[in-house]
Structure 1
Amino acid sequence: MKDSTQGTSPGPGTPLPDSILIVGGGVFGLSTALALAARHSGKITLVESSPTIPNPHGSSIDTSRIVRADYAKAAYATLAESALEKWRNTDWGREGRYTQSGLVLVSSGDQFGKDYVRESYENVKAINPDAVEALPTRRDVERAAPGYGSGLHVSGGYVNWGSGWADAEASVAFARKKVEETGRVNFRTGDVKRVISEDTGSAAAAARRKVTGVELADNTIITADLVILATGAWTGRLVDLRGRAEATGQALAYIRISDEEQAKLANMPTVLNLSTGMFIIPPRNNLLKIARHAYGYRNPQRVPSPADSGSNPTQTRETTIEVSLPEKDVPIPQEGEDACRVALKEMLPAFADRPFVKTRVCWYTDTPKGDFIITHHPQYNGLFLATGGSGHGFKFLPVLGDKVVDAIQGRLVPELQKLWAWPESPPAAAPPPPSSSSPDTVVWTEDGSRSGPKGMILMDELAKGGWKRSSSKL
């Protein structure tokens, strides 16, 4: 396979401005800060809403994330393989942060997900043929993942022994440590309330403004020549991303297992069924995680329109818009618990009735095709977005920041530049189901890896179990 995502375009690119502000201390923000610290001599500031990094409400504050090169899109497969080299062979993966136990990617019959599995197999087979083995029947799948028993309702797939999983929380903490050790980045704590922009004074001012910084919730102003929004699922509060990206909640649950069970399952491969979206990652510290990668739950809220800060320069009156945003400290709905139970019965039936000791809603920043948004805002000078992880950004932590800085300087290779570009206009959305109250601009990620019901509203699903929003710790 031709590796067209590595390296940079010829030439030095656009010089970096004197002062750069990164908003967000997650995977996108820390990776960008690390790359800037190595390539930029100016002032770099990173502001994070949480006094601690990792942010306890962030997406990558968890025991485990799948680290795979297994993609139906070749560009992501090759870029992920370059990240895997870092996970395997450098300090990124040491001290238990990365475990290479393999990934079994399967589908069920002729259901959704079969094409993604086939295309992904072709891509990773071309990259690492010795590590990839076709599993054409259910019996083959059971042979590759014997610890999961004979309850797998699958028709086949493949195993990639070159993939694995990483301790997400430990890896983000390690990334912060690496950034701190550079001595080049000033960390600030604060909740960004809005992006500040001003009239450029030119004839084109009505169509284009200049971003000068951000205002925090305590009214503190932080100025910079370039503002990078690496704000993940919260980005919709700061710029209008309707139809381009929005937050969706994904269900995950944990069960407690014994030392003997931990030892038995510790080296098993991860199994991901793309027809159901359900997956189980090998346990760590006697906790077994069951999760779902699907269309997810929306959480629509009314927020002040960011008309003056990055979406619509011609809008002048104060209005509100509806966006889906994360809800902190909520359990998963009963619907999600039921899905996890079914997955346990199929994959690990011995644990099917074990109580959940913890559940969590993990927030994705979904885009229509699952592609990141890593680009300059087309309407605002000095505003750059690094977001849209769509549930698969974590694995790129060791290499993503260099690509972000390449994009800032106009040096990103054309293939990734095209994938991560700002959409010229929101794509036409498919009609929502009859029972859904979703607006026309709802984002459903259609990259071939999602399944399950569309249009579920988190609060509606939680209300079915008696949970009320007043219990939330927003």
Structure 2
Amino acid sequence: MARKNSSVLILGGGAWGLSTALHMINSGYHDITVVERAEQIPSQYSAAWDLNKIVRAEYEDPFYTELALDAIEGWKTPLFGPYYHQTGYVVAATGRAPPKAIHHLEKALSSISSHPTFAPEIRQLNGPEDFKNHTWQYTGPLTGFKGYFNRIAGYAHSADALRGIWEHCANKGVKFILGESAGKVVELLYGDETSDAGNAAFASSSTGSGPQAGQGQGRCIGAKTADGRDHLADLTICALGAHGASLIPSLGNFVVARCWSVAHVQLTEAESDYLRGIPTTNVRDLGFFFEPDPKTRLFKLCPLGTGYTNTGKDGISLPPGEVLPPPQDYIPLEDEQKLRQLLRETFPWMAERAFVEQKLCWFADTADSEYCIDFVPGTKQSLVVLSGDSGHGFKMMPSFGKWVLDLLGNKEQRLSRWQWRNTDSRGKDWSTSVSWRIGTPREVGDLVKAKSMMIKARL
């Protein structure tokens, strides 16, 4: 078990890594180092490197509803409050929505309509006029729209939250090592059962390459970075999101790196002011958007779908590296079409505007959308993995580190849903089995080929 005087190495300065550092430093740990590949935080390698993320508590599973409510209280504290905007949350489906989208909307509403916290704060919207009476800025036809408004929800400015918590942790004594050389972890270091961080002679520089690499190799005593330095620690915490299986390949047996499209429209100052305060809006069969960012006047939109993977020959999906660069300032045509339709229904005056700062946002996905917060088997409680955000992890940032402390205090993960999975689901696509995902799964390699063909056709 890690003691308060233990040296702790956290790999990854994203939402979960920073939350863990925050709660550990607040609970009395004083020797904490965060290693992050980016030159600064917010990191472009984090899924939270973004304008904003939805903060809501509608879950089909009441377990996560209560966790999200607790996290929302955390967003209202002085530390996190500057990044939280309780604009409310509109959830809808169009008249052309497939049954799956309508079913999910109905389940989301039923999950909160009888909850004592939510019940007084929900308004059902039964047609276009209801939506327009509630949010006067909707000027599109809202064809067949039905849904509801939930006041206890909104969004958080994710990149700003990362920056703010990073600065807070650094001021409290957490050490940060940043940069493509000094902060890029290339392998984990292992020793035998008797070794520890203070005895580097037992260190092994190999993480192995088999399907179970990262398990049963003895105590993890730290990590090696691209500059050749060994960073030794009593406890190593891997919080690398979609990149985690690059260091712990067996994690890739049940966690898949998946991505979704993100796009923005550049608004004028007047247009941004016009849309200020609109509720975060999620149209289940098309996509979602937020009020414009007041600093950049960017209006962010995301299409809904099953996402895209990047599966290698070993069956493990990881974000593309140097061999297969991700498409730059580009989203797939089918995603663009969804967003154009979303704008035609809500803000038709914006529907033909150019999309800017387009990208693919990577996250770590599990078949049941459950997190993994556990010790890696065979490492003598010296290596913890935090993974499986499954597209709903950022909202938990104020609370997440508490759950890591629970793991350390209990010396085991007592919640079966967050335990390490001794399963191998490589080659099995579960994206369409998730209740709110609609569409056909595809590989990033197909997107690259499609973009290349499109460019050639224009020449």
Structure 2-normalised TM-score? 0.84
- Within 5 Å, which residues of 2 pair with 1:94-243? 94=82, 97-108=83-94, 109=97, 111-125=99-113, 126=115, 127-183=117-173, 185-189=174-178, 190-200=183-193, 207=216, 209-240=218-249, 241-243=251-253
Aligned-residue identity in percent: 27
Q: 1:444 to 1:195 in 2, by over 3 A?
A: farther
Deviations 1:302-359 (A, max 9, x none): 5xxxxxxxxxxxxxxxxx6643324556222333222222222222211111111221
Deviation at 1:467, TM superposition (A): 7.3
SS class of match (1:21) = strand
Q: Which runs of 4+ in 1 moved over 6 A?
A: none
1:333–1:458 Cα contact (<8 Å) kept:
no
Q: 1:132 to 1:89 in 2, by over 3 A?
A: farther
2:188–2:223 Cα contact (<8 Å) kept:
yes
The equivalent residue for 2:306 is 295
The equivalent residue for 1:324 is 318
1:366–1:445 Cα contact (<8 Å) kept:
no
Distance 2:92 2:418 in 1: 28
Amino acid at match of 2:438: S
Deviation at 1:54, TM superposition (A): 0.8
SS class of match (1:409) = helix
2:258–2:317 Cα contact (<8 Å) kept:
no
Distance 1:412 1:164 in 2: 34
Segment of structure 1 superposing worse, 64-73 or 332-341 = 332-341
Q: 1:57 to 1:14 in 2, by over 3 A?
A: closer
Amino acid at match of 1:298: T
Deviation at 1:164, TM superposition (A): 0.8
The equivalent residue for 1:274 is 284
SS class of match (2:397) = helix
Amino acid at match of 1:103: Y
Q: Say yes or no: does 1:254 pair with 2:252.
A: no
2:21–2:32 Cα contact (<8 Å) kept:
yes
The equivalent residue for 1:68 is 56
Q: 1:244 to 1:301 in 2, by over 3 A?
A: same
Q: Say yes or no: does 1:405 pair with 2:402.
A: no
Segment of structure 1 superposing worse, 346-355 or 137-146 = 137-146
Q: 1:399 to 1:411 in 2, by over 3 A?
A: farther
Deviation at 1:152, TM superposition (A): 2.7
Which residues of structure 1 form unaligned runs of 5+?
A: 1-12, 303-319, 428-438, 469-474
SS class of match (2:285) = coil
The equivalent residue for 2:204 is none
RMSD, aligned CA: 2.7
1:104–1:157 Cα contact (<8 Å) kept:
yes
Deviations 1:292-311 (A, max 9, x none): 24311112345xxxxxxxxx
Number of residue pairs matched? 420
1:243–1:442 Cα contact (<8 Å) kept:
no
Deviation at 1:192, TM superposition (A): 0.7
The equivalent residue for 2:365 is 366
Q: 1:249 to 1:168 in 2, by over 3 A?
A: same
Deviations 1:101-120 (A, max 9, x none): 11111234552233332333
Distance 1:256 1:324 in 2: 31
Distance 1:411 1:212 in 2: 18
Distance 2:136 2:404 in 1: 40
Q: Say yes or no: does 1:85 pair with 2:55.
A: no
Distance 1:383 1:79 in 2: 25
Amino acid at match of 1:55: S
SS class of match (1:378) = coil
Amino acid at match of 2:267: I
SS class of match (1:242) = helix
Q: 1:188 to 1:346 in 2, by over 3 A?
A: same
Q: 1:340 to 1:196 in 2, by over 3 A?
A: same
SS class of match (1:395) = helix
SS class of match (1:336) = helix
Deviation at 1:193, TM superposition (A): 0.8
Deviations 1:422-441 (A, max 9, x none): 123135xxxxxxxxxxx624
Deviation at 1:218, TM superposition (A): 2.4
Q: 1:177 to 1:412 in 2, by over 3 A?
A: farther
Deviation at 1:162, TM superposition (A): 1.3
Deviation at 1:445, TM superposition (A): 6.8
Deviations 1:342-385 (A, max 9, x none): 22222221111111122111112111121211111123221111
1:72–1:117 Cα contact (<8 Å) kept:
no
2:187–2:247 Cα contact (<8 Å) kept:
yes
Deviations 1:388-418 (A, max 9, x none): 111221111111111122123228995xx23
Distance 1:142 1:228 in 2: 48
Distance 1:412 1:266 in 2: 46
SS class of match (2:187) = strand
